[in-house]
Amino acid sequence: MSGGLLFQAFVYLLAAVVTVPLAKKLGLGSVLGYLLAGVVIGPFGLRLLGGEGQDVMHFAEFGVVMMLFVIGLELEPNLLWRLRAPILGLGGLQVLSTTLVLAGIGVAAGLPWQAALTAGMTLSLSSTAIVLQTLQEKGLLKTAGGQSSFSVLLFQDIAVIPMLAIVPLLSTAKTSAAGVAHDASGLSAGLPGWAKTLMVLAAVSVIVLGGRYLGRPLFRALARTRLREIFTAAVLLLVIGIALLMTQVGLSPALGTFLAGVVLANSEYRHELESDIEPFKGLLLGLFFISVGASVDFALIGARPGLILGLVGGVVAVKFAVLLILARAFGLSQDQALLFAFGLPQVGEFAFVLFSFATQQGVLAREITSPLVAVVALSMAITPLLLLLNERLVQPRLGTREGPRREHDRVEGESPVLIAGFGSFGATVGRLLRANGVETTVLDHDSDRVDLLRRMGLTVYYGDATRHDLLHTAGAERARLLVIALDSPEKTLALVHLARKHFPQLVILARAFDWADAHDLIEAGVDHVYRESLDTSLRLGTDAMRLLGFRAYESRRAAQKFLEHDEESLRELTAQRRDVGYLSAVRRRIEDLERMLRADRDQPGLSRDAGWDAESLREEFGRKR
């Protein structure tokens, strides 16, 4: 069934809208929802898109192209320099070790060493899109395991460039039917392997040098027009132009746009570009995930299930073992090493590009790449399930065990205050209480951060605060307050439900991220909810009023009135959040606030109450003299 481009776009969007919220509600995450949507609407599901799957792969190529542009755009030089040790050390060893192990297995299975090496390099890569999206959703990107995963993925993205340059050198065939077809209209048509390699390096050099010396003047001139659409059009022109150049030298457009993003990352206009592209980023990633799900060749899997599933299990097991060994060798604690190993054992989206390119160059036969492409798609599809397995089964049993060099984390003594989460938010609360002589028991799930804070002299214990046994051991039955400063709304809500069920005497003070999060916490019975940016925002607004000529008393009184009204509105609107008239109620509260502040500002004598406004008094006294 097919109705053209509009019909396919409609099917993609409908599948995403239906399956992703369902997957999120079941705790599976949005990535798995997109993958399942692709399976359902793909050639081997309802067959709503392209019987042979070709249309789906066109969409996948577009998703990869735009996704890699955004990834390249975020590669700031400062970030690369700060992470140089884990990027080059951990990332380099991961790619090298995995390549050698998988290539050795390929040679033992009877493949030529050139084909085995190419397959090993390709299978050593992991999925940047799926891993980063999933870790970000779970609030794990800032942990030691999350940062190590980011470093390895960064190295892999960069390593694709030399891999694509090496593949032509491994070609054992002078030409291939696919290669001729691919290069017939390109600049590299008919050239030997070494010449193609030089052409690839020359194209990369042109992009880097051109971006450095021509990009900034061009964007500066366009920025002076103050026409945002022209600026965006110029970015797309650059992306498409570089993609065409890379196609002409026999490389993937996806790699070209990745390089374009890297070039623009050095520009002072990078933030403007990011703001233009950000609204499309999530949707384009979702498009890519749907395409991956739709590209799974169930016919091939059904014809050779033992081979395909064996390859998936073998590749995932080998990569998992290499990742776990390297993580421990680089000093990651057990729980963070498990997160790292469970996050990266899949094969990445670049594998589609590399396998296609290797086939065109005559390095790999289609009889080899066809099952390997199915392995790539399946390994990507099970990634959210692997992370779910780690989170719910492995971490509670293995991740929280003490390392051999670390002393036990039994909570000693009892404190009136329990603090769950000791990042920047929780640390500020804990330091304030400690400075005023209030003893606290702090629980944090990042073992590396716990060790660091202990070395700084703070009393912090390692453990997952959402576990009932740990809360009991920490003295929750006799504590007075529970301060929740976790960096995940989901975990915060889970801890609230646990504390309310088993320790009802605790007064809970919880960090909220936005109104929706605050509504959830109030409904769950939280006594005091604190939106993390509210007080800072009011401070900024107060200073802005002062700079505009308002007196200190007047501006601070307005901020206090605003805070009181906002807290009252939050609790009132929580009861109406699922009603049809919720938005109307919100509008009424906004109008009430504006009327109240105007009436308060117009009170007689308010503007003259400057008894604690020393600066205004000095200015007034100077004018009178």
Distance CA 524, CA 518 (A): 10
Cβ–Cβ < 8 Å for 334, 399: yes
Confidence of residue 465 (pLDDT cuts 50, 70, 90): confident
Q: How confident is the model at residue 108 (pLDDT cuts 50, 70, 90)?
A: very high
Residue 323 has pLDDT above 80, yes or no: yes
Instruction: Identify whether the C-beta of residue 176 lies closer than 8 Å to the C-beta of residue 360.
Output: yes
**Would you state the pLDDT for residue 313?**
93
pLDDT at position 540 over 80: yes
- Amino acid letter, residue 425: F
Q: What is the pLDDT of residue 64?
A: 61
Residue 407, burial from CB neighbour count under 10 angstroms (0-12, 13-18, 19+): exposed
Provide the 3-class DSSP secondary structure of residue 509: strand
Q: Which pLDDT score, from 0 to 100, does residue 471 have?
A: 81
pLDDT band at 184 (very low <50, low <70, confident <90, very high): very low
One-letter amino acid identity for 2?
A: S
Average pLDDT over residues 235-263: 73
What is the arithmetic mean of pLDDT over 369-380?
Answer: 85
Percentage of the chain with pLDDT > 70?
Answer: 77
Amino acid at 159: A
- Per the model's pLDDT, the better-predicted residue between 22 and 254 turns out to be 22
Domains of the chain: 61-398 (1.20.1530.20), 417-601 (3.40.50.720)
- pLDDT > 50? residue 93: yes
Residue of 137, 128, 185, 180 whose CA lies nearest to 158: 128
Would you say 14 and 360 are in contact if contact means Cβ atoms under 8 Å apart?
Answer: no
DSSP H or E stretch at residue 278: helix 270-294
Average pLDDT over residues 167-175: 67
The mean per-residue pLDDT over the stretch 272-290 comes to 69
Range with lowest mean pLDDT among 269-273, 396-400, 501-505, 612-616: 612-616
Q: Which residues lie below 8 Å from residue 285, measured CB to CB, with a gap of 6+?
A: 63, 67, 129, 133
What is the pLDDT, as a whole number, of residue 251? Answer: 66
Which is it for the CA torsion 385, 390, 396, 398, positive or negative? positive
**Mean of per-residue pLDDT scores for the chain:** 76
Q: How far apart are CA 521 and CA 64, in angstroms?
A: 38
pLDDT of 180 reads: 31
Confidence of residue 183 (pLDDT cuts 50, 70, 90): very low
For residues 396-416, give the mean pLDDT.
52
Whether 365 has a pLDDT exceeding 60, the answer reads yes
DSSP sequence for 522-564? HHTT-SEEEETTHHHHHHHHHHHHHHTT--HHHHHHHHHHHHH
User: Long-range pairs for 525-531 at CB < 8 Å and ≥24 separation?
Assistant: 525/496, 525/500, 526/496, 529/570
- Coil/strand/helix, residue 483: strand
Please tell me the predicted confidence (pLDDT) of residue 325.
94
User: Given a cut of 80, is residue 459 above it in pLDDT?
Assistant: no
Q: CA distances (Å), 557 to each of 530, 551, 569, 611, in order?
A: 20, 10, 18, 14
Q: How far is CA 553 from the centre of its chain?
A: 43
Q: If we measure between CA atoms, which residue out of 477, 450, 478 comes closest to residue 464?
A: 450
Q: What average pLDDT does this structure show over 278-306? A: 75
Least confident of 98-102, 328-332, 401-405: 401-405
CB of 67 closer than 8 Å to CB of 422 = no
Which of 6, 11, 66 is closest to 43 using CA atoms?
11
Q: Which of 374-378, 573-577, 620-624 has the lowest mean pLDDT?
A: 620-624
Lookup: tokens for 155: 């190295």
> Residue 92, exposed/middle/buried by CB under 10 A (0-12, 13-18, 19+)?
middle
DSSP 51-92: TTSHHHHHHHHHHHHHHHHHHHHT--HHHHHHTHHIIIIIIH
> Coil, strand or helix: which one is 458?
coil
DSSP string, 196-222: HHHHHHHHHHHHHHHIIIIIHHHHHHH
Q: What's the CA gap between 37 and 14, in Å, rounded?
A: 9
Which residues face 531 on adjacent strands? 512
406 pLDDT exceeds 50?
A: no
Mean pLDDT confidence for 201-222: 77
Q: Taking the C-alpha atoms of 59, 175, 170 and 57 in order, what is their torsion angle to the nearest 10 degrees?
A: 10
Is the pLDDT score of 24 beyond 70?
yes
What does the radius of gyration of the chain's CA atoms come to, in whole angstroms?
Answer: 29
CA–CA separation, 293 and 25 (whole Å):
20
Note the pLDDT of residue 345. 93
If one compares 376 and 3, the residue with the highest pLDDT of the two is 376
Give pLDDT, residue 276.
Answer: 66
Regarding predicted confidence, which is higher, 241 or 252? 241
- Residue 377, CA atoms < 13 Å, CB-side half-sphere: 28
* Average pLDDT value for residue range 477-485: 87
Strand order in the sheet with 417-420: 460-462, 440-444, 417-420, 481-484, 507-512, 528-531
Q: How many CA atoms lie within 13 A of 592 on its CB side?
A: 12
Q: Residue 478's pLDDT is what?
A: 83
- Give the pLDDT confidence score for residue 586 in this predicted structure: 75
Closest among 128, 437, 443 to 292, alpha carbons compared: 128
- The per-residue pLDDT for 529 is 87
Q: Which of 99-113, 207-221, 347-361, 476-490 has the highest mean pLDDT?
A: 99-113
Residue 152 CA to residue 125 CA, distance in Å, equals 9
- The answer to which of 386-395, 499-508, 601-610 has the lowest mean pLDDT is 601-610
pLDDT of residue 611: 47
Res 59 pLDDT > 70: no
